[in-house]
């Protein structure tokens, strides 16, 4: 996805949540100073079935959806659930806010980790990214991309994972461990989940696809341009 396509939607998110573009850009620049260019050819997912694992409490009950998949992507703490269940992980997507030790372990083992920079995680980036094996870090931003930091779309770890899979040519996207109505989250996280839902609907429409995770919900989702 080109930034010119993403930018209007990004601005809507900033306006709705009251976030600061300048903060995102500062974080992006910090990450750019810590990262090296990532060889996207390593993640050639054209024609592949990709499972996007969210970090909802019900993920453990959804792991049967990983059977037969070509690629497994996990958002944040979903990486721990997937690995503990004995599944191989192809990519972790994280803003390094919950389980950075897992990201360290994965990069040291040669598994790529997509790290997101945003206005609230600059100290975390400075603390943890230098501990990762830089060869296995895909640096991402929700602001305009700079240097080694890319923007392929997406806002939360989960929906950003789906946008990454789309960018890399995935044929089928499956979803495990998603709950847009998760009662355990606070008000701000609930608003972020609402945006994740809108963004997945946008991605679904752009792909001419039908994501099962949105079944029964599409009519209530405010569409994006």
Structure tokens at 102: 């897992």
Phi and psi, residue 135, nearest 5°: -65, -15
Task: Break the chain into its structural domains and give their ranges.
Answer: 3-214
Q: Give strand pairing partners of 117.
A: 141
pLDDT digits (tens, 9 = 90+) for 86-143: 999 999 999 999 999 999 999 999 999 999 999 999 999 999 999 999 999 999 999 9
Task: Quickly count: other Cβ atoms within 10 Å of residue 19's Cβ.
Answer: 17
The answer to whether residues 90 and 81 touch, using CB atoms and an 8 Å cutoff, is: no
In this structure, what token pair is assigned to residue 122? 């600059």
Q: What is the pLDDT of residue 27?
A: 98
Give the position of tokens 């598994």.
111
pLDDT reading at 46 higher than 90: yes
The answer, as to whether pTM is greater than 0.85, is: yes
């Amino acid at each position: 996805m080109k930034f010119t396509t993403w930018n209007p939607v990004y601005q809507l998110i900033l306006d709705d949540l009251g976030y600061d573009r300048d903060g995102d850009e500062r974080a992006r620049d910090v990450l750019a100073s810590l990262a090296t260019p990532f060889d996207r050819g390593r993640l050639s997912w054209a024609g592949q079935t990709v499972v996007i694992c969210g970090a909802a409490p019900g993920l453990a009950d959804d792991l049967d959806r990983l059977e037969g998949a070509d690629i497994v992507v996990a958002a944040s703490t979903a990486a721990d659930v997937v690995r503990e269940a004995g599944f191989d992980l192809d990519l972790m997507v994280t803003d390094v806010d919950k389980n950075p030790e897992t990201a360290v372990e994965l990069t040291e083992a040669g598994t790529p980790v997509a790290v997101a920079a945003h206005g609230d995680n600059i100290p975390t980036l400075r603390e943890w990214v230098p501990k990762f094996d830089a060869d296995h870090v895909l640096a991402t931003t929700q602001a305009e991309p700079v240097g080694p930091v890319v923007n392929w779309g997406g806002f939360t770890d989960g929906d950003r994972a789906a946008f990454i899979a789309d960018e890399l040519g995935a044929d089928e996207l499956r979803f495990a461990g998603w709950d847009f109505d998760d009662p355990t989250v606070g008000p701000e996280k609930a608003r972020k989940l609402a945006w994740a839902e809108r963004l997945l609907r946008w991605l679904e429409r752009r792909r001419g696809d039908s994501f099962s995770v949105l079944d029964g919900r599409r009519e209530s989702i405010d569409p994006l341009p």
